[in-house]
Chains A and B, each alone.
Chain A
């Protein structure tokens, strides 16, 4: 039977800072680059796994207040860091695993995304790093 998960209270940390209350969407995608190994005689393309290149995309409310979004992210542009995401705030377990990207890279940081009458939101993407998942 298919199941769906409605995530209302995931926990997101960026560089060990809890930014859960500034985050409204997140997508963690594990990517292992495909290297083509098709050779003569094959009738379909064949691939083998290459380097890991996972990504985590976060939609954040942009806040310039102390200890909030900008203070956390401004020093990370062009550097590597560690990000984690967990489905709920409950204790880490087999049904609430914590996923970690260690050594992922933040290439760009939108500083202002202003629109009249709307909250300032930004999308940021962490790329690369080593993916791991813990259940305890």
Chain B
């Protein structure tokens, strides 16, 4: 999971947050200090029309 800093109490807002050993990430999330960074979904392949109009 990738997290982004959301409070100046933790660092520079927008920077990625890498938790050191022993850091309680759940508490930081619930306190609003970090947010989960949404990972871009892979693009769906373009739809191609495979339908054939050939009449049997």
A residues apposed to B, CB below 8 Å: 15-19, 66-68, 71-72, 74-76, 79-82, 102-103, 129
A-contact 0/1 string along B8-37, CB 8 Å cutoff: 111000000001111110111011110000
B residues apposed to A, CB below 8 Å: 7-10, 19-24, 26-28, 30-33
Q: Is the CB of B31 within 8 A of A81?
A: no
For the complex formed, measure the closest distance between the CB of A26 and the CB atoms of chain B, giving whole angstroms.
17
Q: Which residues of B contact A66 (CB under 8 A)?
A: 7, 32
Q: Is the CB of B10 within 8 A of A82?
A: no
For the complex formed, measure the closest distance between the CB of B54 and the CB atoms of chain A, giving whole angstroms.
64
User: Which of A18, A67, A71, A75 is in CB contact (< 8 Å) with B26?
Assistant: A75
The answer to whether A18 and B9 touch (CB under 8 A), given A71-B31, A74-B31, is yes
The answer to whether A75 and B24 touch (CB under 8 A), given A16-B10, A19-B9, is yes
User: Which of A67, A68, A81, A102 is in CB contact (< 8 Å) with B27?
Assistant: A81
A76 closest partner in B (C-beta): B27
In the bound assembly, the distance between CA atoms of A15 and B8 in angstroms comes to 14
Q: Is the CB of A75 within 8 A of B30?
A: yes
Give 21 CB contacts A-B under 8 Å.
Answer: A16-B19, A16-B23, A17-B7, A17-B10, A17-B33, A18-B9, A19-B9, A67-B8, A67-B9, A67-B32, A71-B33, A72-B9, A74-B30, A75-B24, A75-B30, A76-B27, A79-B27, A82-B20, A82-B23, A102-B21, A129-B22
A79 closest partner in B (C-beta): B24
Q: Is the CB of B33 within 8 A of A67?
A: yes
A22 closest partner in B (C-beta): B9
The answer to whether A18 and B30 touch (CB under 8 A), given A76-B24, A129-B22, is no
